[in-house]
Amino acid sequence: AADKADVIVVGAGGAGLSAAVTAHDLGKKVIVLEKMAYLGGNTNRAAGGLNAAESQPQAKAGIKDSKESHYNDTMKGGKYLNNPDLVHTLTDHAAESVDFINSLGGDLTDVGMMAGASQKRSHRPTGGGFVGANVVKTLAQASKDRGIDVRTMAKADELIVKDGKVVGVKYTKGKKQYEVMAPAVVLAAGGFSANQDMVVKLNPKLKGFATTNHTGATGDGITLGEKAGAATVDMKQIQTHPTVVPGKGEMITEAVRGNGAILVNKDGKRFINELQTRDVVSAAELAQKDKVGFLLFDNDVRKSLKAIETYIKGGMVTEGKDLHELAQKIGVDGKQLQATVDKYTKDQKAGKDSEFGRADMPRPLTQAPYYAVMVTPAVHHTMGGLRINSQAQVLDTKGHVIPGLFAAGEVTGGVHGANRLGGNAMADIVTFGRIAGRNASQQPTGVI
Ligand code: ADP
């Protein structure tokens, strides 16, 4: 006989595990299906932070911010294509997501600046460590402590639908197919950035682009939902991340720019306000020689961000004892590079970026040694996905709720509109993950 649960979660990334822990803590029996051998999915790779306004860490740091400002920034960043209900839900409840992760033993205590934000609201581990790894570790440990039934290498193939209600999932583990039954299923299978065919079909311009995503990001959840009648939204909205190391697919977190790095081209010149949104910065890079730029920063920026040590260890960073040595090593004109940095330093001290209008210039870039990382854009996030309402219920093509079906995280569409702000994915997955877990727990039992 098929195993039974109260809630089945498909995908053990940040959204799925948040849903699973939430449902378990409401007294529900939860089964999590994860197709990979490891937990955390693409969330493992989230580098920046979790955006939230009016949070406890912000209050401690004396940062004045508002949910309304977070809402406005998110809508503006998404070019107002976002679903306002979903964005309100996100920005109203993101601070609770910070508390949720911290209460489970996570470390979202440092608050930093991210592109497209009018305030410091990106919550991350102490000293600016990687957010995704910390959140996954926290949620995986919480699942283990609770004895939640997490099945790895278990790939969901199909939703079981009975009388118009979703009542279970068929999945493959090894060579065998199994069925699990429950009155509620949460799809949290992530996005499709690693599915080149799907990406190129939706946006032919992205042919040949690398991706920052793990290999499991193939859009299975969208297909599963669609087969059960779900509608999709904003599928063509695919984001590139502007600072990815060419050839390696390694992403350099936006926090490097947030903490003070500038971008220069092969002529040693700045070409964009570095804190512009990802779509704008990506497009500007593609317009430079060889479609690349260099992130340039000094020792002061290096010391401000733990993540940078990882990039240095990974061989992605070129170091020069001064700007001239660095310029020589990266094949850029030394005099021009010096002039570019001198101008930036002068502007930084005057508090006004005379060239590109960058609002936040936290460091003057005057402390040698200097560092450079060559970067180019790569496919990073798929904003589109299953249509949900603010209760994380999946809607069909007529806008009706599909009974028993919930979705959260990158598998959904509508939260980020045409462009996701850095730090809003973490906010999205934990917040909607919790909502999906809570509402899936309220599904009447005994329907199967
Ligand atoms: P999110 O950020 O929305 O939580 P992630 O990419 O972090 O998304 O997590 C999604 C997870 O779902 C990944 O671990 C991925 O391997 C898993 N997944 C994707 N497709 C399936 C599937 N068909 N069955 C089970 N798990 C899946």
For ligand 1, the distance from its centroid to the CA atom of residue 191, given in whole angstroms, is: 8
Burial of 145 (0-12, 13-18, 19+ CB in 10 A): exposed
Look at residue 167 in the predicted model and tell me its pLDDT.
Answer: 97
The lowest-confidence range among 121-130, 142-151, 354-363, 370-379 is 121-130
Give the per-residue pLDDT at 328: 98
Per the CB < 8 A criterion, the answer to whether 345 and 262 are in contact is no
Q: Phi/psi at 245 (nearest 5 deg)?
A: -70, 120
From the CA of 13, how far away is ligand 1's center (Å)?
Answer: 6
Is 278 a residue of the active site? yes
pLDDT in tens, 247-279: 877 889 999 999 999 999 999 999 999 999 888
Q: What's the gap in Å between 409 CA and the centre of ligand 1? A: 9
pLDDT of residue 215: 95
Q: Span 194-202, mean pLDDT?
A: 97
Average pLDDT over residues 414-438: 97
**Which residue among 8, 38, 42 has the greatest number of ligand 1 atoms within 8 angstroms of its CB, and so is best to mutate?**
42
**Tokens at residue 367, please?**
């402390």
Best residue among 36, 38, 193 to mutate for probing ligand 1, ranked by most atoms within 8 Å of CB: 36
Which residue type sits at 56? Q
* 429 touches ligand 1 (CB under 6 Å): yes
Burial (0-12, 13-18, 19+ Cβ within 10 Å), 389: middle
CA-to-CA dists, residue 274 to 74, 264, 271, 335, angstroms: 18, 10, 9, 22
The alpha carbon of 311 and the centre of ligand 1 are apart by a number of angstroms equal to 26
**pLDDT, tens only, 106-117:** 999 999 998 899
How large is the average pLDDT for residues 110-134? 92
pLDDT, tens digit, 9 for 90 and up, residues 233-246? 999 999 999 999 99
pLDDT at 47 over 80: yes
Band of pLDDT at residue 140, cut at 50, 70 and 90? very high
Mutate to test the pocket of ligand 1, among 10, 45, 180, 431 (most ligand atoms within 8 A of CB): 10
pLDDT at residue 326 greater than cutoff 70: yes
Q: Contact at 8 Å (CB) between 259 and 237?
A: no
3-state secondary structure the chain: CCEECCEEEECCCHHHHHHHHHHHHCCCCEEEECCCCCCCHHHHHCCCCEECCCCHHHHHCCCCCCHHHHHHHHHHHCCCCCCHHHHHHHHHHHHHHHHHHHHCCCCCCEEECCCCCCCCCEEECCCCCCHHHHHHHHHHHHHHHCCCEEECCEEEEEEEEECCEEEEEEEEECCEEEEEECCEEEECCCCCCCCHHHHHHHCHHHCCCCECCCCCCCCHHHHHHHHCCECEECCCCEEEEEEEECCCCEECCCHHHHCCCEEECCCCCECCCCCCCHHHHHHHHHCCHHHCEEEEEEHHHHHHCCHHHHHHHCCCCEEECCHHHHHHHHCCCHHHHHHHHHHHHHHHHHCCCCCCCCCCCCCCCCCCCEEEEEEEEEEEEECCEEEECCCCEEEECCCCEEEEEEECHHHEECCCCCCCCCCHHHHHHHHHHHHHHHHHHCCCCCCC
Q: What is the pLDDT of residue 212?
A: 92
Q: Whose CA is closest to 448, among 161, 134, 31?
A: 161
At 359-418, the pLDDT tens digits run: 999 999 999 999 999 999 999 999 999 999 999 999 999 999 999 999 999 999 999 999
Tell whether the model's pLDDT for residue 157 goes beyond 60: yes
User: What pLDDT was estimated at residue 160?
Assistant: 98
Strand order in the sheet with 412-413: 232-233, 385-387, 412-413
**What integer pLDDT is reported at residue 249 of this predicted model?**
78
**Average pLDDT of 94-108?**
98
In this prediction, residue 445 carries a pLDDT of: 61
In the predicted model, is pLDDT for residue 229 greater than 50?
Answer: yes
What percent of the chain is predicted at pLDDT more than 90?
93
Q: What is the rounded average pLDDT of the residues 50-68?
A: 98
How large is the average pLDDT for residues 269-291?
Answer: 94
Whether ligand 1 lies within 6 angstroms of the CB of 190 is answered as yes
Reported as half-sphere exposure (CB side, CA atoms, 13 A), residue 21 has a value of 26
Alpha-carbon distances, residue 14 vs 38, 203, 288 (angstroms): 13, 27, 36
State if pTM tops 0.80. Answer: yes
Show the tokens assigned to 220: 């299975």
In what side-by-side order are the strands of the sheet with 122-124? 50-51, 122-124, 110-112
Residues 6 or more apart whose CB falls under 8 angstroms from that of 36 comprise 152, 153, 214, 216
Helix axis angle, 84-103 to 131-145, nearest 10°: 70
Residue 447, pLDDT > 60, answer no
- Pick from 226, 234, 186, 225: nearest CA to 381: 234
Determine which one of 45, 124, 278, 420 is catalytic.
278
Q: How many residues does the chain have?
A: 448
User: pLDDT tens digits, residue range 184-195?
Assistant: 999 999 999 999
